[in-house]
Structure 1
Amino acid sequence: MTRTVTSTAPGLNHPRQPEVPGLFTLVLHTHLPWLAHHGRWPVGEEWLYQSWSAAYIPLVRVLRTLAAENRRHLVTLGVTPVVAAQLDDPYCLQGMHHWLANWQLRALEATHIRKAAQAGPTSTPEALRELGAREYTEAERELGEFETLWRHGGSPVFRELLDGDVIELLGGPLAHPFQPLLNPRLREFALREGLADAWQRFAHTPAGIWAPECAYAPGMERDYAAAGIGHFMVDGPSLHGDTALGRPVSGSNVVAFGRDLQVSYRVWSPKSGYPGHPAYRDFHTYDHTTGLKPARVTGRHVPSQSKAPYDPERADAAVDTHVADFVETVRQRLISESARIGRPAHVVAAFDTELFGHWWYEGPVWLERVLRALPAAGIRVGTLSEAVTGDYVGAAVELPPSSWGSGKDWQVWAGEQVADLVQLNGEVVDAALATVDKALTQATGSLTLAPRDFVADQILRETLLTVSSDWPFMISKDSAADYARYRAHLHAHATREIAGALAAGRRGHAQRLADGWNRADGLFGALDARRLPSA
């Protein structure tokens, strides 16, 4: 039996469609590596500022707009500690403010170009003037929002959404390590410190996490249970494609939720998805005079110089088409999965947050419209925590070693291409832990009674940056691989340099080295080496 429900949101007085069985959850994973003080262009701080401007600010705008319509429990939002640290960092806040102002200046420059510096339909003075006017208005709006809403960092922004039950927060371990390959002591330390970091920033301790790279190894559910984690994300194949319900793992009470690939790939997949539509703005085509993106996709095999100018009205029509397509996809999936399992099903679509705005310019508009259209189509939208309390949980399952990378195994982070990094990580971690253990127990004979040791803290901080999952991912995918190798070896060098001085009894020199590295890598100020689990 179906029933018709009517919207209570302001301005939406028309009756909705008959209610569909089950629950839909949108999960967004917000992550970038630590970029502050480590290069600017083409990889470095620019990556942070582009994502902040194109994805994070628009996403918050969408969520605040929908919250003002009395909509709640909209998104399960993963914010990794390393992103949260950058959004709160004074240096990054200043850099972001400068970047937004520069964007506005570049847009103004485009409106005054009288002669094209390059050939092609997107580079005529008329096309650039039109583009510049739109970009100037957009930059002006973001500058205003940044100065009024973000000036004290990202934590107050997200805390307001958490306090208002607009989102559920997913946490994660410090610095986003690939956990299955990590020394168990450092793995536990990174996870517990990551949860503590979330509490300090948001006054909310996450009930669930987005495990870095959705990576899982048998037994990790025990670590999660001990840390107070009740649920986590895996990719669909980890559950053999049966993602209609969350599953307790290996007899524990920790629930694994799987990404529904049939629904998620409708938006974004390795080969297709909405962002490749000819009407949408092309991510890869730049006007080299202003740095703005003037073209639409036009066609998969159309060279950049031949692409057509971006047309907002054409793109807007495509957004509506893709909203309708996605809603119908979710609706049919819920109906078919509920019929298959004989009870209301749960559908989880999960994506990187940066897809929405940074990679797919129209993504935030699509999000806003789809989060209105789903309930209007009789589809209940809720968070992962609501799925647990709403009994969208099935029988226990044994999970295989897995990830959401190529092959759905560990090859991206442990394959032949990155075997040297795996070895490097193991050596650095072993040396760091041995040095920290010795340093903290030397004076008192007890790690728990030792005074706070800034040098030991910095050794662990650099160690965690060394083992970030981003570096092997970028190498395996040949995406700024040289930068990734440089970063991995840089942090490994920092760890070894500080640890070597400390192990040699040169405490003063180790302190100076730690001070120097901390000026670049001063994230996670509350990190305390004394909380490292005993050997």
Structure 2
Amino acid sequence: MPGTFCLVLHSHLPWLPGHGVWPLGEEWLSQAWAESYVPLVAELDSLAAEGHRDVLTLGVTPVLAAQLDHPRMRRDVGTWVGLSQQRARELGFDADPVRRAAATREYAAAGRVERLLAIRWSGGGSPVLRSLRDAGVVELLGGPAAHPFLPLLLPEVAALALESGLSDSTWRLGERPRGIWSPECGWALSLAPAFSAAGVGHFVVDEQLVRDAGGHPHAAWRVKGTDVVAVPRDLDVTNLVWSSRTGYPAAAAYRDFHAREEFTGIRLWAVGRGHDGSPAPYDTDAASAQVDRDVAHFVDAVRARLEQAHAATGGPALVVAAYDTELFGHWWHEGPTFLGRALRALRANDIRVDTLENALARDDGRHVAGELELGAGSWGAGKDFSVWDGPAVAQIADENLWMQHRWLALVERERSAGRVGNRRPDLDQLLMTLWNALSSDWAFLVSRGQSVDYALRRAQEHRADFHRLAQLVEDQDAAGALDETRRQARHDWTFPALDARLRPR
């Protein structure tokens, strides 16, 4: 085929340890870990064992990597899976044979996850990620520390967030990533100096951003005046899975995410309904057959898109599909199986599958079509910044700006006074708290009307912690600042290697 297909997965959750358990909080992490990350890695391990290399580009945000390495969360996710297995065991005593069959299936599935956590994941997430990268199976993307929406940060703070995140990835994985995932695919021209200085080679943007700048989505584009390459995701191909209305996960045969058994919480039913309108029992054989049909359709669609792009441009086409990792397994139970079969089928049909980094270097860089002066945008609703600074979240945006100004002023005073020669636990914690406060998740959840109370509370708690500790530092109350640092560290010691003396490149 005249071109390359790249699959990009963006893995992210905000910092959750110490901030509630259920229905939001640590259980959110356990669900994604057990239902998405473990089965996805199992698929990648199977592909690797078959000899596949360079199968996809995997972004794991530094804040998620920190949670996958967190000693207590590593223990608690195993407990969570064990409880899931126990609930399946209880359902196994039901008089209904359909429910008993589902209990057997879910009990076995939880047992497999339990074994993989105990063996493959015993050292946390970093050894898993590093092994996949070192074996040449995936390219790992980096990113800013705790997933802030970069275009709304002050330039100095955006540069510091990026350097903090890339430094953390280097500390955990032994290598500084060249590519990054800019949170929410956010971009503004003001970010160009920070990206260049940090050595960013490439990042993913929304297709519309490239089109608005006069380009097309069938190639990557160098940001004008820099060596940084923007890679657009192809919406036509991405939406085959991504669309909530017409995407593959909406097929009747797949397991319904929302409907649960009343007492155990086990998902017994398929998306479709019976002739009488009642929920249809989930059938693994029917779901597997549907996966095969969707894989065949996906392969045909990628082939057609590559041919169409080649005909339009006359050169080798680049087609990039980018998704949240948690879609596969957690939201779409059959998702990891689909990914594994799709990657195998694409290559079996002579479609080149590669990582972003390899694709950009291939054919003397012919996948980079030229330079574009990219305007501002995101992959959020409206393709603008309104999800993170619109009327519903204006207060969050204003408070975030004030915290950034206070941080910069505080650190400058401490430096001018000669008080940052040695590492300062209070400043380290203050910067960690700032990153958690600036997470894009809080405004996103509020704007989308999802878990609004939780999001507002989290944003307020981190802001209050930041200002409390900042005031103690400004008052030169060393003892009080140290006590407050210890208190915050008990639940928000997110980046143990973070050094507040860090300066952007």
Report the TM-score, using the length of structure 1 for normalisation: 0.91
1:217-296 residue pairs with structure 2 within 5 A?
217-240=188-211, 242-296=216-270
**Residues 300 and 525 of structure 1: is their aligned pair in 2 closer, same or farther, counting only changes over 3 Å?**
farther
Partner of 2:501 in structure 1? 530
Q: How does 1:222-371 map to 2 (within 5 A)?
A: 222-240=193-211, 242-298=216-272, 306-371=278-343
**CA–CA distance in 2 between the matches of 1:300 and 1:507?**
67
Work out the CA distance in 1 between the residues paired with 2:12 and 2:101.
33
Q: What displacement does 1:438 show?
A: 2.5
**What SS class does the counterpart of residue 319 from structure 2 fall into?**
strand
Match of 1:193 among 164, 184, 201: 164
Kindly tell me: are residues 441 and 90 of structure 1, through their superposed partners in 2, closer, same or farther at Cα, counting changes over 3 Å? Answer: farther
How far is the alpha carbon of 1:320 from its aligned partner?
Answer: 0.4
Q: Which amino acid aligns with 1:371?
A: L
1:533 deviation in Å? 5.2
Instruction: Report the Cα distance in structure 2 between the residues aligned to 1:302 and 1:484, rounded to whole angstroms.
Output: 40
**What is the rounded CA distance, in whole Å, between the counterparts of 2:276 and 2:240 in structure 1?**
23
Shift of 1:436: 3.0
* Structure 1 position 504, deviation (Å): 1.8
Contact persistence 2:219–2:369 (CA under 8 A): yes
Tell me the amino acid that sits aligned with residue 438 of structure 1.
Answer: R
Percentage identity across paired residues of the two chains: 45
Measured after TM superposition, the shift of residue 398 of structure 1 is 1.0
- Residue 30 of structure 1 pairs with residue 11 of structure 2: yes
Indicate the SS of the match to 2:54. Answer: coil
After superposition, give the CA deviation of every residue in 1:29-59 in whole Å (9 maximum; x if it has no partner).
0001011110111111111000001110001
- Specify which of 87, 111, 115 is matched with residue 106 of structure 1: 87
Q: Assess, with a 3 A threshold, how the Cα gap between structure 1 residues 452 and 300 changes in structure 2: closer, same or farther.
A: farther
Measure, in 2, the Cα distance between the counterparts of 1:144 and 1:533. Answer: 42
Match of 1:436 in 2: 411
Q: Measure the CA separation in 2 of the matches of 1:219 and 1:252.
A: 12
1:41 maps to which residue? 22
Alignment counterpart, residue 395 of structure 1, candidates 370, 375, 386: 370
Instruction: Return the alpha-carbon distance in structure 2 between the equivalents of residues 403 and 45 of structure 1.
Output: 28
Secondary structure of the residue aligned to 2:370 is coil
CA shift in 2, pair 1:259/1:139, >3 Å: same
- Report how far residue 344 of structure 1 moved: 1.0
Note closer, same or farther for the CA distance 1:332–1:533 as it changes in structure 2 (3 Å cut): closer
Q: Deviations over 1:299-349 (max 9, x none)?
A: 59998xx31111111111110000000000000000110111001100000
SS at match of 2:414: helix
Kept in 1: contact 2:151–2:190 (CA 8 A): no
CA contact (8 A) 1:76 1:383 kept: yes
Partners of 1:191 and 1:127 lie apart in 2 by 51
Hey, what does 1:5 align to over in structure 2? Answer: none
Task: State the SS of the aligned residue for 1:257.
Answer: strand
The residue type paired with residue 281 of structure 1 is R
Q: Alpha-carbon deviation of 1:441?
A: 3.8
Query: In structure 1, the residue corresponding to 2:5 is in which secondary structure?
Result: strand
2:100 matched to 1:129? yes
The CA distance in 1 between the partners of 2:147 and 2:273, in whole Å, is 36
Shift of 1:203: 1.4
Could you say if the C-alpha distance between residues 106 and 426 of structure 1 is closer, same or farther in structure 2, counting changes exceeding 3 Å? same
1:159 aligns with 2:119: no
Q: Which amino acid aligns with 1:378?
A: D
Amino acid at match of 2:247: G
1:434 and 1:361 map into 2 onto residues whose CA distance is 48
- Structure 1: 5+ residue stretches without partners: 1-19, 115-124
Asked whether the 8 Å contact 1:185–1:532 carries over to 2, the reply is no
Partner in structure 2 of residue 404 of structure 1: 379
Contact 2:155 2:191 survives alignment (8 Å): no
Distance in 2 separating the partners of 1:183 and 1:128: 55
- CA deviation map 1:17-39 (0-9, x unaligned): xxx11000000000010111101
What amino acid sits opposite 2:153 in the alignment? Answer: L
What SS class does the counterpart of residue 146 from structure 2 fall into?
coil
Q: CA deviation at 1:361?
A: 0.2
How far apart in 1 are the matches of 2:403 and 2:191?
Answer: 22
Contact 1:387 1:393 in 2 (8 A): no
**Alpha carbons 2:158, 2:191 under 8 Å: kept:** no
Report what 2:32 is aligned to.
51
User: Conserved in 2, the CA contact under 8 Å of 1:71 and 1:166?
Assistant: yes
- Identify the match of residue 94 of structure 1 among 66, 75, 98: 75
State the distance in 2 between where 1:212 and 1:513 align. 30
Counterparts of 2:440 and 2:400 in 1: how far apart (Å)?
Answer: 11
Deviations 1:190-234 (A, max 9, x none): 101111111111112111001000000013222111101110000
**Distance change (3 Å), C-alpha of 1:211 and 1:95:** same
Instruction: Name the aligned partner's letter for residue 114 of structure 2.
Output: L
Where do 5+ consecutive residues of structure 2 fail to align?
none
Q: Distance in 1 between matches of 2:315 and 2:424?
A: 55
Q: Distance in 2 between matches of 1:324 and 1:300?
A: 26
Runs (4+) off by over 6 Å: 300-303
Residue type of the alignment partner of 1:340: A
**Per-residue deviation at 1:101?**
0.9
Cα distance between partner residues in 1 of 2:503 and 2:176: 20
- RMSD, matched Cα: 1.6
Describe the SS at the equivalent of 1:308: strand
Contact kept, 8 Å, 2:155 with 2:190, in 1: the verdict is no
C-alpha spacing 1:76/1:104, structure 2 compared with 1 (3 Å)? same
